[in-house]
Structure 1
Amino acid sequence: MTPALLSLGTALPPHVLEQTDAQDLYQAQPGTDRLNARLLRTVFGASGVARRHTVLSELVDHDARKDSPYITGDGRFRAPLTGARNRTYMEEAPGLFAAAARDALARCPAVDPTSITDVVTVSCTGFFAPGPDYHLVRDLGLNPATRRSHIGFMGCHGGLIGLRQAAAIATADPDAVVLLVAVELCTLHLRPARDADAIRGAALFADGAAAALIGSRVPDGCAPLLQLDRFRTLVIPDGEQAMAWTIGDSGFEMILGAAVPQVLEDNIHAALEALLEGPEGAVDRASITDWALHPGGRGILDKLEHTLDLAPEALRESRDVLATRGNMSSVTVLHVLRQVIDEAPPGEDRTVCALAFGPGLTVESALFTIPARPAAPAAHAHSATAVPTP
């Protein structure tokens, strides 16, 4: 019995950071010389990001900077220690976890929250215990016997890892109903950017959340969004130095090397071959109708579009999410999937190839089927839930 995606919800913090404002903020930092300013303009301009969301109101509201531990009143970055940044995560993350989960439940009323048997949470931008898995059981009124697990500190491919884990649970227990929720607060770890790696992170990363309901049995009154057909993992040789995510004294530190697009170009065909071949049977690549790629940056999308010989329209959803929401780490590919599902033409089964990339370098891949469905009214088009300011 193939597990199904029964619902997919999203949530975003209420504060919107325009990319031009973010670039101005970084260029105004003390010690920015002409070379650094030129690098900032180049990287921000080529990022593919137009705007993104953040839990930090002080990044967009000058009046909120008065007592901010992150930024001074005149716009200079402070250097809060990792503990202070993690306290903000503890304050802000639970609300986003709950908002995304409630959006997923609202989209599938046939699933009673008390029927959820398993909770899987994903995050790499903060830690606390009892963690978000515990808070979801409490905040949503789930059965206290609900099984819980957390996928922590995996990186941008964590959303697909979470889907893989949820699908494995539903395959092993056909009566299971799995709630998967991913939340990332990447902007908590922004800092003055001097080197190219830091500038790339400053230009890309954002905050957001997504949640999914997965089960092998489809309840009456629920139309499955996807069949979760197969998953694959590939660790790329010699890619360990290209991307990394470590804990520093003043926040988490991202290494996002300029070589990432080239490393992916050199290895993406091997990852795709592993996905299309296997014990489930071979799949003709020509049968893939839709692509849901994690938009790690415009350079990555450009390189993969060329390497995989894709039409420019093939990655439109990935580019749209990057432009309007930025790189939300593990959350991003779930937002891309939501848009692919919403915009799929009715009346035919469609095959989706999903790809996400994380430290290692590691490629997570999956094949999904969008079941044929009748046309939906335009008013049902997707928009992410915004979490109100506390």
Structure 2
Amino acid sequence: MGSEGSIERSKTATPGKAIILALGKAFPHQLVMQEFLVDGYFRSTNCDDPDLKEKLTRLCKTTTVKTRYVVMSEEIIKKYPELVVEGLPTVKQRLEICNSAVTQMAIEAAQSCIKNWARPVSDITHLVYVSSSEVRLPGGDLYLAKGLGLRPETQRVMLNFSGCSGGVAGIRVAKDIAENNPGSRVLLATSETTIIGFRPPNAKRPYDLVGVALFGDGAGAMIIGSNPDPTIESPLFELHTAMQHFLPDTEKIIDGRLTEEGISFKLGRELPQIIEDNVEGFCEKLMKVPGYPQNDYNKMFWAVHPGGPAILNRLEKKLDLLPDKLNASRRALADYGNASSNTIVYVLEYMLEENKKTRKEDQEEDEWGLILAFGPGITFEGILTRNLAA
């Protein structure tokens, strides 16, 4: 943040500042319509508990999710029937599925991103890979580098188990790399699947149903670098100031543990309230740049990871945002569910799409905005950002 000086209103990229130059995404082939999820889930898990079924039906409506992509399929359950049997140790089988699936999705998302970037893969100098869905040595970063044909000199960083804040954490790390290595081009890739935590319904774990109703699978990718080549590269978002902040004594609110049956998650009901109580102070710190008009939130764009509708609603209310300010986040949630670290890529894509429809000449409003995500810790990740897209 230090020496940026007063903010300029020009759309020209700031020399030396990291910029998102391309986006890409990928999904597994299994598309789930939310209206058919309940029957499919209870059928595949051989469960016939009417109370749990009714609860999941209600949750599916309140999440606002319409469609999601998932790796889980009838073929997988036939091959690994133990996945739907309560109490069996299945972490080996889950990782066997997840490690392969997340690598393939990450490769496809990165290939899409590189195609949009329009420079050769050999120009990538660094790789940042984010996932909460795999555990292995060597890590998925190496398998992704191999699958893409990256040069052996490519410098790799892997972020594990950052959950929903992982995508923005990855952007922050890629920003630091890009700004401290002139000429570098950083590929950021994220990839997630819910199979690592897929479990049959159990009346003793009603909170599991929240995950069933909310989470989806997929992958995302970005190319990040500074001083773009105007003859080839198309700047999208300038990453001005990045910040991470954790809230002391909240580590049990989002609690995930790797067990013999995969990852077990618990989400505290107080999570939306905690975010509401702390989000404005966090945003104010991010916006403390000389010359920036603080607290004028409705003159900014908001790229918020949609952890769930309650979080978006609380943030909208707390900051008194206009209803359209979180359109991109709500669209991403409806179309893909909460896909953990990937979802911020989908939000940014929707934001660019909406900008093309509404942009006016000389419009200063929405040039600046915040990229936000909230994850285990509770950890806040945020980046003060400029929209450079035409």
Asked if Structure 1 and Structure 2 have the same fold, meaning a TM-score greater than 0.5 normalized by the shorter chain, the answer is yes
Match of 1:355 in 2: 372
Q: What is the identity percentage for the equivalent residue pairs of Structure 1 and Structure 2?
A: 32
How far is 1:40 from its partner? 1.9
Match of 1:50 in 2: 66
Which of the residues 216, 240, 246 maps onto 1:206? 216
The 5 A counterparts of 1:28-47 are: 33-47=49-63
Between the aligned partners of 2:60 and 2:48, the Cα distance in structure 1 is 15
Matched pairs, number? 364
Q: Is residue 2:154 matched to residue 1:146? A: yes
Between the aligned partners of 1:26 and 1:121, the Cα distance in structure 2 is 31
How far is 1:277 from its partner? 1.6
Moved more, 158-167 or 330-339: 330-339
Match of 1:126 in 2: 134
Q: 1:57 to 1:27 in 2, by over 3 A?
A: closer
The 5 A counterparts of 1:1-390 are: 1-27=16-42, 33-58=49-74, 65-69=77-81, 79=88, 81-109=90-118, 111-194=119-202, 195-219=205-229, 220-277=231-288, 282-286=292-296, 288-344=299-355, 345-346=358-359, 347=361, 348=363, 350-371=367-388, 373=390
Amino acid in structure 1 at the alignment position of 2:58: T
Amino acid in structure 1 at the alignment position of 2:376: P
Between the aligned partners of 1:21 and 1:102, the Cα distance in structure 2 is 32
Q: Could you state the TM-score of these two structures normalised by the residue count of structure 1? A: 0.87
Q: 1:314 to 1:333 in 2, by over 3 A?
A: same
Instruction: Report the secondary structure of 1:88's partner residue.
Output: helix
Amino acid in structure 1 at the alignment position of 2:101: E
Between the aligned partners of 1:367 and 1:21, the Cα distance in structure 2 is 39
How far is 1:234 from its partner? 1.7
Moved more, 240-249 or 171-180: 240-249
Q: Which runs of 5+ in 2 are unaligned?
A: 1-15
Q: Which runs of 5+ in 1 are unaligned?
A: 374-390
1:67-122 CA-to-partner distances (Å, cap 9, x unmatched) read: 343667xxx8895611110000122122111101111111011x221111101100
Contact 2:83 / 2:199 at 8 angstroms: preserved in 1? no
Amino acid in structure 1 at the alignment position of 2:373: A
Amino acid in structure 1 at the alignment position of 2:53: A
How far is 1:138 from its partner? 1.9
Contact 1:116 / 1:142 at 8 angstroms: preserved in 2? yes
Between the aligned partners of 1:201 and 1:9, the Cα distance in structure 2 is 25
CA RMSD of aligned residues (A): 2.2
1:233-271 CA-to-partner distances (Å, cap 9, x unmatched) read: 121234222112211110111111211111111111111
Q: Could you state the TM-score of these two structures normalised by the residue count of structure 2? A: 0.87
Instruction: Report the secondary structure of 2:220's partner residue.
Output: strand
Q: 1:17 to 1:70 in 2, by over 3 A?
A: farther
